[in-house]
Amino acid sequence: MLTKRIIPCLDVKNGRTVKGTNFLNLRDAGDPVELGARYSDEGADELVFLDISATLEGRSTFLSMVERVAEAIHIPFTVGGGIRTIDDIVKALDAGADKVSLNSAALANPDLINQASKRVGTQSVVVAIDVKRSGTTWTVWTKAGTEPTGRDALVWSREVVERGAGELLVTSMDRDGTTSGYDIELLQVLSECVSVPIIASGGAGTMYHALEAIVHGKADAVLAASIFHYQKIKIKELKQFLHSHGIPVRV
């Protein structure tokens, strides 16, 4: 089994880290640069920085914030939000990001994934997929989870991988911020239909939730926000817990 990753997520709006429930009712969680530095020092494997209002406001990611976060940390760093063109991707990577996360722009122009993977390599291209359960299936939502696309999440996942996505960041909007656990069934189904690493997102509340996502959901990494921001769980404690259950982690 390959080493599993623990990834704190910084959702940023107006220069501050925020966190809500089901993508709504956002509350302040601190300065993104300070949080990023703390997580880097505490043993996080990677960091995800999402400018969550950039797409809705029709602007690019705040590159100055990307630069500041990159200077403060010493672990790989993914940035997303407002990235719509190859030029945006190159600028984000030049500002210090190791990977870019594509979501709404990829849904609007799927060929952007092909172009990006050819330009910067599949290892630098993450496609984020925000989904809601619809009966026995899952539907993809766009524009920071404000609009349904009608696309089936599994069909879209296979397409983006074929187009060159090197990793999938899959968020259950139903579970987001609820601390009720990841959508294990979604992760199981996805892990069977794509060959690239899957980052589980949405619902982390306990250390057992992370263990379930890895063991039963077959996730390659677990992403969380509120449990780390409000220090309900510390990264080193989570890694020790996973290690004690036979999960390979970087310590």
The SS3 call for residue 40 is helix
Residues 6+ positions from 155 with CB-CB distance below 8 Å = none
The SS3 call for residue 13 is strand
**Is 11 annotated as catalytic?**
yes
* Whether 171 contacts 129, CB under 8 Å: yes
- Residue 98's alpha-carbon distances to 81, 175, 218, in angstroms, are 15, 28, 24
Catalytic site residue from 51, 88, 130, 220: 130
Catalytic site residue from 11, 51, 88, 220: 11
Instruction: Give just the sign of the alpha carbon dihedral 26, 31, 35, 38.
Output: negative
Residues 6+ positions from 165 with CB-CB distance below 8 Å = 102, 113, 117, 122, 125, 126, 127, 196
Whose tokens are 């122009």? That residue is 109
**Is 183 annotated as catalytic?**
no
Q: Count how many Cα atoms sit within 13 Å of the Cα of residue 93 in the half-sphere of its side chain.
A: 18
- Residue 28's alpha-carbon distances to 13, 18, 32, 161, 190, in angstroms, are 9, 5, 11, 34, 32
Catalytic residues: 11, 130
